[in-house]
Structures are given as C-alpha cells and as structure tokens.
Amino acid sequence: MTPVRAPALTEMAATLCFVLVLLIPCAAAGLALINAGLGRFRNAAHSMLSALCVVAVAAVVYFGIGAALQGYAGQPAFALHATGKDWNWIGAGRFFLGGLELGGWSSLAALFGLMSVGVAAIIPLGSGADRWRLGSSCASAILFTAWTYPLFAHWVWGGGWLAQLGFLDSGGSGVIQVTGGLTALSITWILGPRRGKFNPQGMPSALPGHNAVLVLLGCFLAWLGWIGLNGAGVILFTAVEASRTVLVAVNTTLAAGSAALSVAAITRARFGKTDASLCANGWVAGLAAVSAGCGVVRPAAAVIIGLIAGGLVVYSVEWLELHLAVDDPGGSVSVHAVAGLWGLLAAGLLAAITPGKAPWQWLTQLIGIATLLGFVLPLTYGLNWLLNWLSPQRVAVEGERQGLDLYELGAGAYPDFLTHNEDFWQR
Amino acid sequence: MTPVRAPALTEMAATLCFVLVLLIPCAAAGLALINAGLGRFRNAAHSMLSALCVVAVAAVVYFGIGAALQGYAGQPAFALHATGKDWNWIGAGRFFLGGLELGGWSSLAALFGLMSVGVAAIIPLGSGADRWRLGSSCASAILFTAWTYPLFAHWVWGGGWLAQLGFLDSGGSGVIQVTGGLTALSITWILGPRRGKFNPQGMPSALPGHNAVLVLLGCFLAWLGWIGLNGAGVILFTAVEASRTVLVAVNTTLAAGSAALSVAAITRARFGKTDASLCANGWVAGLAAVSAGCGVVRPAAAVIIGLIAGGLVVYSVEWLELHLAVDDPGGSVSVHAVAGLWGLLAAGLLAAITPGKAPWQWLTQLIGIATLLGFVLPLTYGLNWLLNWLSPQRVAVEGERQGLDLYELGAGAYPDFLTHNEDFWQR
Amino acid sequence: MTPVRAPALTEMAATLCFVLVLLIPCAAAGLALINAGLGRFRNAAHSMLSALCVVAVAAVVYFGIGAALQGYAGQPAFALHATGKDWNWIGAGRFFLGGLELGGWSSLAALFGLMSVGVAAIIPLGSGADRWRLGSSCASAILFTAWTYPLFAHWVWGGGWLAQLGFLDSGGSGVIQVTGGLTALSITWILGPRRGKFNPQGMPSALPGHNAVLVLLGCFLAWLGWIGLNGAGVILFTAVEASRTVLVAVNTTLAAGSAALSVAAITRARFGKTDASLCANGWVAGLAAVSAGCGVVRPAAAVIIGLIAGGLVVYSVEWLELHLAVDDPGGSVSVHAVAGLWGLLAAGLLAAITPGKAPWQWLTQLIGIATLLGFVLPLTYGLNWLLNWLSPQRVAVEGERQGLDLYELGAGAYPDFLTHNEDFWQR
C-alpha cells in the first residue's frame, strides 16, 4: 500500500522518453485531421481550428492547474482515510509548475501530461463535429484539463488509489482514450444529433465525411504519435528498462494494422464494400486499445487486441447510432471509449510479462473500468451539462445551416472550390 | 567467408537506432501521399486506404513469417554447399517473432524490418494506381512480405551470400527500393495500362495527378522518413559508430535536394516549364539512390548521386512510357527501381570511407544488381502472375470507369466537391 | 572578449541534439503548407514546389559556401580591429564542408545549419506568394544562404561579435526568423502587391487563402519542427545540460498555444468572428518569438511572450497593409520579423535562468535588434534589389492572371476540381 514511486530514470532512459514525448503532437495532428476529414466541408476550418485551440487551452490550463492536481508518484498528495487505509485521491503539487526544476529531467512527466492531455481533449471534437461552438469546446476543454483528466490521471499515474491497487494502463487507454471518449459521449448527448442525421422515424442516414484523404493521412500520423504516447508512458509509469519500448513499437504497429484489417474484412463481408472511414476508425481503435498493455503483452496478443478492437468499432458505431441515437461523426465514442475499455480489460487478460502478470490483474482492470463508467462518465457529463446550462454549447440553427466556418470564423475553408449545394439540411 | 555479424550495439547506439526507426512511418506516409496525389481524384481514398492496408498486411505477415526468413547475421540460417563454399541463403528463425526477447534491444532489427517492409510494399501501389483491386494489392503484399523481401533482405542484411561477398546497401536502395520498384514494374505489366493512357497508335497521353499539394507534402515527409531508414540501416547493418548518422542525414538531404533541382533544370530546359510531379519524383529518387551508400560517401558524392538520379528519372519515365508502354502513374519504377539500381552502383564507385572502400566494391555491387534484375524481377513477376491467374488483379472495366473509390469502397474521397465530368475514359 | 566556445557535447547530448535536428524538416513542411494554404488555388503547386526547391537550394549552397562562412565558435575566423578590440566578423572555414570529420558528432552544427537555413529561406515565399517566379525565389535563396544568413549566424552562433557581446538567441528568433522575415519584407517591396489587392484609392481587399485545413495542419507540423529547432539550438549554442530541452519543449508549446489563443480572443472581440488564418499566424508567431529565450525563461514567461506575440501579429498585419501597403499573403513579415524581434527583446527582459540573466541583457538584445534592422534589412533588400535589376523577380502580368501553376509549371495543382471563375483580377 505504499505509493508506487516513479522509477528513477537513467539519463539514457530520460533522453529516450523525452524524444518519444516529442512524437505526441503527431497524435494530436492525426486526430485533428481525422475529425476534420470525417466532418462536412463547411466545417473543416472550424474543426482544425478547434483542435489547435483545444491543444492550446489544454497546454496552458494543464500548466496552470492540471499538473499540480495530477502529481507524480511519491510527491505530495491528499488522502482519504477509509476501510482502514489511506486512499490517495488528488495531487497536492504547486500550480503553474511551481515546483518544476528549471532544466533537469524531473519535469518530463509534466511535459508528457501537457501534450497527452491535448490529445485527450481533441477526442470530443470528433463527436461534436458540425455543431459544437468553438468557445464551448474550449470551455469544455478547460474543465477537462483542470479537473476530469488530472483527477483520473492522478489515480492511475500519480500514485493514486488505482495505482495502489496495481491498475495497469501504461500508455493511457484509460487515462487518455476513455476519459476523452466518455467526454465525447457526453457531448453527443448534450448537443443532440446534427439536423438531418435522423429522420422523423429515428432512422439514421449516412452523412459522409468530406475528405477521406485527410482521414487516412491522419491515421499515419496517429501511428507515429501513439508510438510516442505508448513508449513514453511505459518508461514513465512502468518500472521497466527503456529497451522495452521496442516491444511497445512492435505491439502498437501490429494492433493498429490488425484492427484496420479486421474492419476491412468485416465491412467487406457485410456490405460488399470496404468502408474507408471505418477502417481508419479501426486503425485508431487498435492504437487506443493497445495502449494499456503495450508494454506487457506479446506481439501475438497485440494482434488479438487489434482484431477485437476493430470488430468492436464496426458494431459499436452501428449500435450507438441505432439504439442510442448517438450522432458521432468522428466515431470518437467507439474508437476511444469502447476500444479503450476493451484495451484495459485485455491488458489484464493477456499480460505475459511483468509488471502486470498478477493472476487477478483482470479484476483490478475491471475496477478501473467500473470507475470510468460509474464515476468519470457522470462527472464529465455533469460538468458539460453545467456548462451547457450556463451557455448553450450547440451553435444556433442558422450556424449549422451555413456551416460553422462561415458562421463562426467568417470564411470557408475552401473558398476557391465549387461544392455541392444540395442541402443535407432539408432531408 | 565467415558471416558478417551484426555489430553489438552500445546502449547509446541502440537508443539512437530505435528513434531513427520510428521515423520510418513518415516514409510510408510520404509515399502514400505521393501515390494518392499522382492518381485521379476518383481513386484517392482507395489509394490511401490501400497504403494503410498494405502497411498493416506487411507488419502482420512480416511478424508472422518474414522476420524468421530474413534473420540476422550470426543467427541460424540454411546454407547451400556449392563451389566449395557454404552459401547462406535463407534464415532459419522462429515464426511469429518466437525468439524475440521481450524487452531488450535485440528485437530492433525486427522492428526495422516490420516498418521498412511496409515502405517497400507501398511502392507498387503507385504503379498500379487507378486500376489495382484492394484485395489483390493486399494479396500481392503478402507474397512480397512473406517471401520476396525477406529472401533478398536475408542475402544482404541477414548474413546471406551477398553479405558474405561484401555487398554494400546500408539503407536499402536495393533491399527496399529496388525490390519494391521491380514489383511495381511487374504490376504494370500484369495490369496493363489504364484505359485512355495510350491511343490506338500506342502514343501515351498525360493523365495528370489530382493533387500536387499532397504530392509535394509527401516529399517533405519522405525526407524525414528516409533519414530514419538510412540512419537506422547504417547503425544496424554497417559496423560504424552511431555518430556516422550525422553524415547520413547530410548526405540524404543533399541527394534529395540535388535530385529535385536536377529535374527542375532538365524539365525547364526541355519543356520550358518546370514539371512539379517530376520534381517530386526526382526528390524521392535522390532519396532512393543515396540509401545504399549514405554512410560511406562524402557529401559531394551525395550531390552527384542526386544529380544523376534526378536525370535518370526524367528520361526513364519517358522511355518506359514510350518504349515499353509502361503506364506507371506514380513513377514508382523509375523512382525506386531505376534510381535504386543507380544508387547501388554509385555506392561502389563513390565510397570513400570504410566500410565499402574496397577497390572492387563496384564489382560486388554489380553482382547485387544482376541478382536483382536476373532473379528478383522474375521471382516477383512470377508470383504476381500466379496471383493474377488465381484471381485477376485488375478491377473490372466498370470499376475503372466509376473510379475505385465508388466501386470498391462505396464512397468517393471528396463527396462535397464538384469535379470535372468530362471523362478521360472516352479518349 | 575571448570567443565563446561551443560547449564540448557529451555523447548523450550530441545524440539528443541530433534527434532534435531531425525534427526541423517538420518546420519546413509546416511553413510550406501554411504558405500554400494562404495563397490562391491557382498557385498552390507552385508554392509547394518553390518550398521544396528552396530547401534544396539552401541545403546545397549552405553545404558549399554557407557553412564555411558561418563557422563555429572556436574555429578559424576573420576579425576586424576597431575600438581597441578584435571584432570577429566572418568564419574562415573550408568550403564544401571540407573540414567535416566524416562520421563523428563534430558536424552536428553543420547539419543544424543545413536544415535551419532551409526553414529561414522558406519564410519569404509566404510574402511573395502568387507573383514570385520560381527561378527568382531560388536565386534569392542562393544569396540568402550564401551570404545574408551565414553572416548574421556567424555573429550570433559562430563566435562572432554579437556572441562576444553576449547576445542571446538560442533557437534563432533573430538568426532564423528575423533574417527570413526581413527578407520577406524586402520581397514584398520589390515585387509590389498582387493585382487586385489594393483598389485605386489604396484600400486593401481581403484575398482569402485557398485551403485553411492545410494552413492549420501546417501549424501542428511547425510545432514539432520548432521543438527541434529550439531544443537543438539550446544544446548547440548555450552551455547548458541537455536536460534543459524539456523546459524548451514546455516553453515552446506554451508560447505557441497562448499566442494562438491571444489572436482568437482579439479577433473575436474586434470582428465578432475568430479569424482562422490569423490564429494560425499567431501560433507560428508564438513559436518564432519564444525561440530566442526558450532555454532561459520560465514557463509563465513563455506564456507572456506568446500572448504578446499573438497581439503583435494581429495589429502588425493590419498596420503593414494599411500604412505601408505591404501585400503579404502569408503574413511572413509579421509572423517572423515582428514576432521574432519581440522574442529577442523578451529574452533579454524575461530571462530568469543562466545564461542570459545578466542585468543588462536587454541592452545587448537591443544591439542585436538594431543590427538586424539597420544592417541585415538593407543588406537583404539590396541583394534582392540587385537580383531584380538583373532579372525581374515578379512574374509577367499574364502569369499572375493565369496562376503560377499553369504559367510556370504547365499544370494546375487540382486539375480535377471545379473552382470559382470569377476573377479577383478584375476587381
């Protein structure tokens, strides 16, 4: 029950970790492209600008507040006394990176957080696409970065109670992907579906993304970014040799690839055509799912994690749309929340290498999953509901018709190109 | 005649090599963008998705089979006894990375292979653009990754008979670029030209790519990716200090730049206009050519390699089209096969630094070149011919007319944009 | 007054520095995308190709000449004797990297220069967009790379007189950004505004960029590239521990983010809409401004640097257009020159960590700023004026009407897409 201390890194490990952290912006860029490409052309600039602003907000707010609350194992924290034990629940660091040794590797975890919280905060933009106001998405990102993310991250990576229990999430399937994905789910509920998505009988119609090339380019960038996320996470939050990152890169690549192929096979078999957007979603779902266990599973297990993550995405996208009337243009809920939860469980089931090889690891993983669904989802829903009550997060009807680019930014993304004018609006 | 052992890497060299390997996805992304941009708009999503799927297939198959057959210097291998010597011809490793030490740098070469085989497997997509079925390109990638690539890679990088002879190919001009480029040539022969490419008199007409910005963005990404390829290759397969990679990066940049400028000057002089697509092809040809000798030539030699590679591309593209009726939308044959072969020879002629400074190095290089043309080309042609015999690789006539996006994926890449409807088909 | 010697790097620091240098191509790619996206569709391929060619020219010319003139601290140099002291003013190295130890870290600074001069040389392309001939931009890049850049870089980074005075510019706010930005200003003056930009009464009209998605994607890539620039610069030119680069990455991210948010807030408040192009400009301005002091300011100071850089961009763009009739489609003058100058001053005012904490540091910074405005600007203007006198740098009227893609390259960037035909020309 002593708090898990972050391993003291050798200078070599710290250097490698730093370089891996620097790949994380590629994950942000990749998700931004995927969200923009899966949205309508009249919201493309808005989507990209929202991603940039959310990354900016996340960095500034995490620097100001989030890093202090997340803390690191072995650093000051507040604990609740219950069931005869101390449950470490929130960091007690200094705001504005006050304790940061200027120069020196000790701030690596802060840099990791600063960048990865941006990735997590971009995830809901995919779900709110085409109807979420820029100001509201920034405000939502503030709440996420200042409270939701650091709270759960403290529990898992900051020496908190889940870390005390031995919960395993090296690369952030839970901390980054599921927290982002559940916020995305809350946003779809709060904003409601796009006009024209469901007919009066509640049947959904397909509103295809406006640029598949951007979406698939985003997958390549996300691949690179995730190797950074997963590798840096394994070094920072798992007491292993830095060389374990080679395995991490192998596993990350295999999971992404097998997930994409899984979706390709399933969509081909079911619809007679391979669905490019879903394949892209599958690729990222493989990445999201493998993060948790990337440092403790064998490559064959990474393939299995990917295959199942891909299958989950296909069915989850359909199920959410048909049964929960969730309109999620970027597929963020399925890709990040559903596949991320699967990844957390899979890490417990398939871990073959220490740490993480405990016989009841899967049970610990279930406790983390239950916490995400039973606590983080209501929390992030509640915060965004409050925000919506203060100031409606959805753009005005007129803005959705015009497109967010013209309505909120005053200029379209592609002013020189002719586009189809038949209005999906009227359907 | 003892097999060349992979040098035992220091931890520093291993760390640097790992980081360089992580840049390789940029090469894959770059080639994917170039192929997509040089194809027609109606096949853009198909092109990008094919690249993603081929990378995925390559990773999974290389993990399963290819890595075992490629092997590494000093590891178990099969040898043929001939001319009084043992000729090491194929690796005898365990499938599914069975021997992979989980964690530890020993799997670096496997990770390098896993990523670089994906780059090689993307190359033929440029040649088969606008008419190659997704399923067939994946099947072709399976054959390439499971047999063609690891076989030749074993000979050069796995302690095989070419390595025994002292064949020099640090970054893969031969192993990656030429094997991919000759497969691309086979694919153009097997698929035949696009409808409308040649008139009944056999004269080619220009079918310009649909997005030059993507093509040129791809060049920037390829630059980064190739520094990774070349640098990691030099560390893994040449017994030199890790600091040699600085020279590699200088040489790689100079070769790419001088090749692009060479093309710019030639096309300006010949046609009065600078051809952007050919400049992009030239840039990548410079990269492909410098790979072989990047660690053993002086920067001035890298400039020469680039200048000649650029010139070769201009004339090769024209010659292949006019004299061999090869329809290669992405220019992959000229860029990767022709420039790669030149690079192999140049490494022998211009090597100034050990290793590679042997007086007869150019002769050894010619043996490698002859092996590629005399053995690898028939092999890859034969395998793809068989595949085509089992199931035609070319899409149905109707699919080519509609575009592969609609026909195979059920949705266009750019559904919101208006495009020219005059059909190149009818010409 | 002894020349500042470049610190002897440990192998670890050299390795990290090398890896950071390899991220610099992302900065080049990012600026290329921003320039292309902020220009008209009819010049998009030309813009990207110019960037590629300029990078190529810069690499080759810097290799041939620039590196020798820039030199490094402690290497041979020429000095002028004045005011009783020796003023080191130009390097005396060997051309064609003649002294480069082949293999070995000693060439790291040359590689850094080779790549960063390309970034600087791309900057003027944004200002000359839509009317600068490809050949002229390459010729201008030759002059810049062979003389303007290495001269000032020698003064600051090569042990020259500004280094002797203690001038602080770790990541190149002055050396890279301002030299590029002042060249951009010269180019706008020499080329004159685009037809249709100003009406006969001199009032400017907005000519929006053709692709906001490219612009914003460029911001993400620039982020990555700048971390490389700033981090490598700090290691090479500031005698600090390699671990200082973590602080550099934090500062770089915070400055970019706060600058973008600053622009978003200002444009929203002033115009009622958030201007996406200006936000992108702000993001890069934050990057350009923080380079100088990235290694010696606290994160909170980086936020301040960014906030002010963003504000400067908004007002500077407007002021240059209204009062100096500068037509700068990419905003390069404001983003790189104005924000870069602010960054140089800010480094002096806000430096909190050695080196750079001297009480009169701000005065030294002002000397550098005065040198840039009083010497580098006339120099680069004069060189480009001469070039223009030899051969007009602006494309013929017909070329501007047709678009540079068709006129100089013979093919449009997007031949398959329908575009608006109302001609901005006539306005």
For the segment B353-408, what is each residue's pLDDT rounded down to a tens digit? 877 777 889 999 999 999 999 999 999 999 999 999 999 999 999 999 999 999 99
Residues A40-67: pLDDT tens digits? Answer: 999 999 999 999 999 999 999 999 999 9
For the domain C25-417, what is the CATH superfamily, name and number? Ammonium transporter AmtB like domains (1.10.3430.10)
Residue in the structure block whose two tokens are 């009622």: C272
Q: CB-based contact (8 Å) between B354 and chain C?
A: no
* C117 in contact with chain B, both atoms CB, cutoff 8 A: no
CA distances from C388 to B149, C376, C385 (A): 52, 18, 5
* Residue A6's pLDDT band (cuts 50, 70, 90): very low
The predicted pLDDT at position C158 comes to 92
- Chains in contact with C, where contact requires at least 3 CB pairs less than 8 Å apart: A, B
User: C-alpha distances in angstroms, B289 versus B221, B366, C319?
Assistant: 17, 15, 49
Lowest mean pLDDT among A277-286, B83-92, C209-218: B83-92
Mean pLDDT for chain C overall: 93
Write out chain C residues lying below 8 Å of B34, CB-based.
none
- Best mutation site among C10, C20, C21, C22 for testing chain B: the one with the most B CBs within 10 Å? C22
Bridge partners (DSSP) of residue C49 are none
Residue A274 C-alpha, separation from nearest chain B C-alpha, in angstroms:
5
- Name the burial class of residue A398, with classes exposed (0-12), middle (13-18) and buried (19+) by CB atoms within 10 angstroms of its CB: exposed
CA distance C408 to A79: 69
The answer to whether A234 contacts chain B (CB < 8 Å) is no
**pLDDT tops 70 at residue C5:** no
Q: What is the pLDDT of residue B140?
A: 98
- Mean pLDDT across C343-371: 91
> For the whole model, what pTM was predicted?
0.96
Distance (Å) from the alpha carbon of A29 to chain C's nearest alpha carbon:
6
Nearest CA in chain A to B24: A224
Alpha-carbon span B95 to B101, nearest angstrom: 14
State the Cα–Cα distance between residues A181 and A146, nearest whole angstrom: 17
Task: Check CB contact of A254 with chain B, cutoff 8 Å.
Answer: yes
Let me know: does A275 contact B405? Beta carbons within 8 Å. no
**Record: contact A410-C353, CB cut-off 8 A:** no
DSSP assignment of C352-414 equals: -SSSS--TTHHHHHHHHHHHIIIIIHHHHHHHHHHHHHHS--BPPHHHHHH-HIIIIISS-S-
Taking only the tens place, the pLDDT of each residue in C65-118 is 999 999 888 888 888 888 888 888 888 888 988 877 777 788 899 999 999 999
CB contact under 8 A, B213 and C413: yes
Distance from CA of B22 to the nearest CA of A (A): 7
Measure the CA–CA gap between C337 and C182, rounded to whole angstroms.
Answer: 6
Residue pLDDT, tens place only, A194-225: 998 998 888 898 889 999 999 999 999 999 99
C interface mutation test: which of B207, B229, B250, B297 has the most C CBs within 10 A?
B250
Q: Which chain C residues have a beta carbon less than 8 Å from that of A11?
A: 12, 243
Mean pLDDT of A155-173: 94
Torsion from C-alpha of B58, B63, B69, B70, nearest 10 degrees:
70
Q: What are phi and psi of C82, to 5 degrees?
A: -155, 155
Rg (Cα) of chain C, in Å, rounded? 20
| Residues of C whose CB is below 8 A from A44 | 212-213
Check whether B48 has a pLDDT greater than 60.
yes
Q: Do B279 and C110 touch (CB under 8 A)?
A: no
* B396 part of contact set with chain A, CB < 8 Å: no
User: CA-nearest residue of chain C to B39?
Assistant: C416
Among all residues of chain B, which has the CA nearest to that of C50? B276
Most B CBs within 10 Å, among A18, A243, A287, to test the B interface: A243
* More reliable by pLDDT, A425 or B76: B76
ipTM: 0.96
Which residues of C are less than 8 Å from B273 in CB distance? 408-410
* Contact status, residue B407 vs residue B395, Cβ threshold 8 Å: yes
Q: Which chain C residues are within 8 Å of A46, Cβ to Cβ?
A: 276
What single string gives the DSSP state of each residue in B174-205?
Answer: IIIIIHHHHHHHHHHHHH-PPTTTB-TT--B-
Is residue B4's pLDDT more than 50? no
CA dihedral A332, A334, A336, A340 (to 10 degrees): 170
b/e C192-223 (16+ beta carbons within 10 angstroms → b): ebbbebbeeeeebeebbbbbbbbbbbbbbbbb
Residue B38 vs residue B4, higher pLDDT: B38
- pLDDT classification of C421: cutoffs 50, 70, 90: low
Kindly report which listed range (A211-225, C97-111, C210-224, C230-244) carries the lowest average pLDDT score.
C97-111
A107: amino acid identity, one letter:
S
Amino acid at B326: V
Tokens 């708090």 belong to residue: A3
Q: What is the mean pLDDT of residues A305-320?
A: 97
Q: What is the pLDDT of residues B292-324, one digit of tens each?
A: 999 999 999 999 999 999 999 999 999 999 999
CB contact under 8 A, C414 and B212: yes
Among C18, C135, C408, the residue with its CB nearest the CB of B246 is C18
Q: Of C420, A12, A344, C166, whose CA–CA distance to B19 is shortest?
A: A12
Question: Residue C207: what pLDDT?
Answer: 87
Q: Indicate if the pLDDT at residue A422 is higher than 80.
A: no
Buried b (16+ CB within 10 A) or exposed e, A16-40: bbbbbbbbbbbbbbbbbbbbbbbbb
pLDDT band at C343 (very low <50, low <70, confident <90, very high): very high
Contact status, residue C306 vs residue C289, Cβ threshold 8 Å: yes
SS (H, E, C) chain A: CCCCCCCCCCHHHHHHHHHHHCCHHHHHHHHHHHHHHHCCHHHHHHHHHHHHHHHHHHHHHHHHHHHHHHCCCCCCEEEEEECCEEEEEEECCCCCCCCCCCCCHHHHHHHHHHHHHHHHHHHHHHHCCCCECHHHHHHHHHHHHHHHHHHHHHHHHCCCHHHHHCCCCCCCHHHHHHHHHHHHHHHHHHHCCCCCCECCCCCECCCCCCCHHHHHHHHHHHHHHHHHHHHHHHHHHCCCCCCHHHHHHHHHHHHHHHHHHHHHHHHHHHHCCCCHHHHHHHHHHHHHHHCCCCCCCCHHHHHHHHHHHHHHHHHHHHHHHHHCCCCCCCCHHHHHHHHHHHHHHHHHHHCCCCCCCCCCHHHHHHHHHHHHHHHHHHHHHHHHHHHHHHCCCECCHHHHHHCHHHHHHCCCCCCCECECCCCHHHC
- For residues A257 and A306, is the Cβ–Cβ distance under 8 A? yes
What pLDDT band is residue A387 in, cutting at 50, 70 and 90?
very high
Give C 401-420 residues with CB within 8 A of chain B: 405, 408-418
User: CA A224 to CA A228: how far, in whole Å?
Assistant: 7
- All residues of chain A having their beta carbon less than 8 Å from the beta carbon of residue B20 are none
Confidence category of residue B424, pLDDT binned at 50, 70, 90: very low
How far is A269 from A283, CA to CA, in rounded Å? Answer: 18
Distance from the A64 Cα atom to the nearest Cα atom in chain B, whole angstroms: 31
Evaluate whether B221 touches B27 at the Cβ level (below 8 Å): yes
Beta carbons of C274 and A134 less than 8 Å apart: yes
- Using a CB-CB distance cutoff of 8 angstroms, which residues of chain A are in contact with residue C10? none
What pLDDT score does A105 carry?
82
Chain B residues with CB-CB distance to C14 below 8 A: 243
B177-233 pLDDT, tens digit per residue, is: 999 999 999 999 999 999 989 988 888 988 899 999 999 999 999 999 999 999 999
User: Of C59, C265, A135, A174, nearest to B251 (Cα)?
Assistant: C59
C40 → chain A, closest CA residue: A416
CA distance C71 to C79: 13
Mention every residue, 6+ apart, whose C-beta is less than 8 A from residue B97: A250, A299, B63, B67, B68, B107, B110
pLDDT at res. B6: 47
Residues of chain C with Cβ-Cβ distance to A63 below 8 Å are 250, 254, 299, 303
Q: How many CB atoms lie within 10 A of CB A63?
A: 27
Secondary structure (3-state) at B81: strand
Can the peptide bond before residue A355 be classed as cis, meaning omega within 30 degrees of 0?
A: yes
- Identify whether B355 is preceded by a cis peptide bond (ω within 30 of 0): yes
Helix (H) or strand (E) holding C90: strand C85-91
DSSP structure string for B294-310: TTTS-HHHHHHHHHHHH
pLDDT band at C7 (very low <50, low <70, confident <90, very high): low
Could you say which residues from 134 to 193 on chain B have a Cβ atom under 8 Å away from some Cβ of chain C? none
Chain C CB contacts of A56 under 8 Å are: 256-258, 260-261, 283
Return the pLDDT at C427. 40
| pLDDT of B114 over the 50 cut | yes
CB contact under 8 A, A216 and B418: no
Helical packing angle, A24-38 and A108-127, nearest 10°: 10
Both tokens of B13, joined, read 């060299």
Residue type, C344: L
For residue C15, the chain A residues in CB contact (below 8 A) are 15
Query: Nearest 5°: phi and psi at A60?
Result: -65, -45
- Cβ of B279 within 8 Å of Cβ of C96? The answer is no
Which tokens hold the place of A287? 């990445």
Distance CA B119, CA B150 (A): 14
pLDDT of A427 higher than 70: no
Look at C208 and C8; give whichever has higher pLDDT. Answer: C208
% of residues, chain A, pLDDT over 90: 80
**Which of C48, C65, C133 has the highest number of chain B CBs within 10 A, making it the mutation to test binding with B?**
C48
Residues of chain A neighbouring B115 (CB-CB closer than 8 A): 253
Backbone angles phi, psi at A39, to 5 degrees: -90, 180
User: Looking at the complex, does the CB of residue C260 fall below 8 Å from at least one CB of chain A?
Assistant: yes
Token pair belonging to C318: 């407007």
> Which two tokens mark A76?
């000051």
User: Among candidates A7, A121, A146, A182, which has minimal Cα distance to A68?
Assistant: A146
Residue C330's contacts (CB-CB under 8 Å, 6 or more residues apart) are C34, C35, C38, C39, C125, C126, C127, C129, C184
| C175 vs C154: CA distance, rounded Å | 9
Residue ranges of A 47-86 with Cβ closer than 8 A to chain C:
48-49, 51-53, 55-57, 59-60, 63
| Identity of the amino acid at B96 | F
Residues B228-256, mean pLDDT to the nearest whole number:
94
Q: Is there a contact between C52 and B210 if contact means CB atoms under 8 Å apart? A: no
Six-digit token string for C136? 């002229």
- Any chain C CB within 8 A of the CB of A17? no
* Residue C298 sits at the chain A interface (C-beta within 8 Å): yes
A1 pLDDT band (50/70/90 cuts)? very low
Contacts of A104 in chain C (CB under 8 A): 241, 243-244, 246
C30-39: per-residue pLDDT in tens?
999 999 999 9
Contact C102/B277, CB-based, under 8 Å? Answer: no
Beta strand pairing call for A85-91 and C77-82: unpaired
3-state secondary structure of B2: coil
φ, ψ (nearest 5 deg) of residue B418: -85, 135
For residue B81, with 0-12 CB atoms within 10 Å meaning exposed, 13-18 middle and 19 or more buried, which class applies? exposed
The answer to whether C269 faces chain A, any CB pair under 8 Å, is no
Contact (CB, 8 A) for A121 and A56: no
Q: Which residues of C touch B277 (CB under 8 A)?
A: 411
- Give the pLDDT confidence score for residue C3 in this predicted structure: 35
What is the C-alpha to C-alpha distance for residues A419 and C420, in angstroms, rounded to an integer?
A: 10
